Amino acid sequence: MEARKKVAFYTLGCKLNFSETSTIARNFQEEGFDRVDFEEVADIYVINTCSVTENADKQFKQIVRKALKHNDKAFVAAVGCYAQLKPEELAAVDGVDLVLGATEKFKITDYINDLSKNDMGEVHSCEISEADFYVGSYSIGDRTRAFLKVQDGCDYKCTYCTIPLARGISRSDTLQNVLDNAREISSQNIREIVLTGVNIGDYGKGEFGNKKHEHTFYELVQELDKVEGIERLRISSIEPNLLKNETIEFVSKSRTFVPHFHIPLQSGSNDILKLMRRRYLREIYTERVNKIREVMPHACIGVDVIVGFPGETDEHFLETYNFLSEMDISYLHVFTYSERDNTAAATMGGVVPINVRNKRSKMLRGLSVKKRRAFYEGQLGSTRTVLFEGDNREGYITGFTENYVKIKMPWNPELINTLQEVKLLTIDENGLVKAEFTDVTLINNGISNAFEALLA
Ligand code: SF4
């Protein structure tokens, strides 16, 4: 009997890519392949690429070399956003056999027949306008949390962004499918589901192939909250213009949705927001943050921001810095602008020198550290629920509270994938929060005593 073929995966980029890799991997398994780790010998290596990654081409070549080091006869396939945007470039990389674009990636097993290596990578790509159908996905990230895709593509035209070119128009999974997937995930003993998509606030558009909204994001949130068995739901990232007050209010009273919002700002200057062709001004952003703070003072609010966009003067940057400095937010994800082919921003004037971009990025990253610390300090003394994760990090187990405070406690494997109530005590030198159990049974089990001994 012929041995079962082995397939390994490498994922670059966002949670959405991770959820799609899981779906592609399940397709392989259904076709009789065994999934192995990327560090092992496999017959096929699939690389799910990202176009947002800095030096995407260099990184891709390194990963291909790594795969071929494990097995120089292995079949290498590339899928994902970069494969859609630059298929010929990827196909020309030594050792690559197959490149699949946005419409083909979920059919990858149909393209893999005899596994013989090609001299030049074979490309099966499409015009991105053809990527108008929806493929549902979810992934189990670690043993505690799953990423559930609810929406794909984007109809916005932000001038710096290649995602609409790589993923196509905005379209959504049906409400029924999302609810079924959520039930399926929670039946696998997963405690937390993170909703993912390209522009999830646009949920409902393209459901049933109809460009009108069939359901809204607010309805999705309400329905998911009713699904039995789900313990925690997290909204990953949502555009400020699409985060409605009704959703914020619902989350504040919800059984499952946690008080954590990640809202892209990109710039605190209205001039730059207009150049970026974002669909809001800074005043809307302030309103959203104020609304969240009004109903959930303890909520965690994360912000995406881009520095060095063309035309961003020192004054514009200072506007962003001061805006964020004064705003009651909890952390920043800082992106340094870099030119992308086929985007409007790539040909705009007012190019910011690289050293200035880097300096601005460093300033905002410094501000982020201060913001996170201030947020954590404000949480000390409060009682929260932690979902403990699986890794033993130098004798500690870590996990996140509902409002995204990272907690560490002495390692105890029994805690993995459990939700525990803890009191937040102090912040350690690495910026993690030490805590103690509030449950006397755990204290009597010696877990807390061991922790106190470590604290002493
Ligand atoms: S909202 Fe703008 S930045 Fe986000 S995916 Fe759509 S076009 Fe890109």
DSSP 100-162: E-TTTGGGHHHH-SS-PPPSS-EEE---GGG--S----EEE-SSSEEEEE-EE------TT--
Q: How many residues does the chain have?
A: 456
Q: Are residues 242 and 286 in the same domain?
A: no
The answer, yes or no, to whether any atom of ligand 1 lies below 6 A from the CB of 165, is: no
What are the phi and psi torsion angles at 393 (to 5°)? Answer: -110, 100
Q: Residues 101, 167: one domain?
A: no
CB distance 199 to ligand 1 below 6 Å: yes
Two structure tokens written together for 63: 């990963």
Distance of alpha carbon 136 from the chain centroid: 16
Q: How far apart are CA 421 and CA 438, in angstroms?
A: 6
Say what the pLDDT of residue 112 is. 85
Same domain, 179 and 73: no
396 and 339 together in one domain: no
For residue 181 and ligand 1, the question of a CB distance below 6 A is answered with no
Which structural domain range is residue 201 located in? 128-258
Is 322 part of a structural domain of the chain?
yes
Centre of ligand 1 to C-alpha 264, Å, is 10
- Ligand 1: does its nearest atom lie under 6 Å from the Cβ of 159? no
Q: Which of 220, 236, 258 is the last residue of a domain?
A: 258
pLDDT digits (tens, 9 = 90+) for 409-451: 999 999 999 999 999 999 999 899 999 998 755 554 545 444 4
CATH number for the domain including 215?
Answer: 3.30.750.210
Residue at a domain's end among 356, 378, 400: 378
Predicted pLDDT of residue 52: 75
CA 159 to ligand 1 center in whole angstroms: 9
Residues 323 and 346 in one domain: yes
The number of folded domains in the chain is: 4
Cα(86) to centroid of ligand 1, in Å? 19
In a domain, 1, yes or no: no
* Residue range 134-163, pLDDT digits in tens: 787 888 755 689 999 999 999 999 999 999
Q: Between residues 443 and 65, which one has the greater pLDDT?
A: 65
Q: Is the pTM of this model over 0.95?
A: no
- Tell me whether residue 289 is in a domain: yes
Determine the pLDDT at residue 121: 80
Q: Collapsing DSSP states into helix, strand and coil, what is residue 2?
A: coil
Cβ(235) to ligand 1 under 6 A? no
Domain-embedded: residue 412 = yes
The pLDDT value recorded for residue 456 is 38
* Element holding 437 (H helix, E strand): strand 433-437
Q: Say which CATH number the domain at 423 has.
A: 2.40.50
Radius of gyration of the chain (CA): 23
Q: Which of 111, 126, 141 is the last residue of a domain?
A: 126
Q: Please indicate, yes or no, whether residues 132 and 254 belong to a single structural domain of this protein.
A: yes
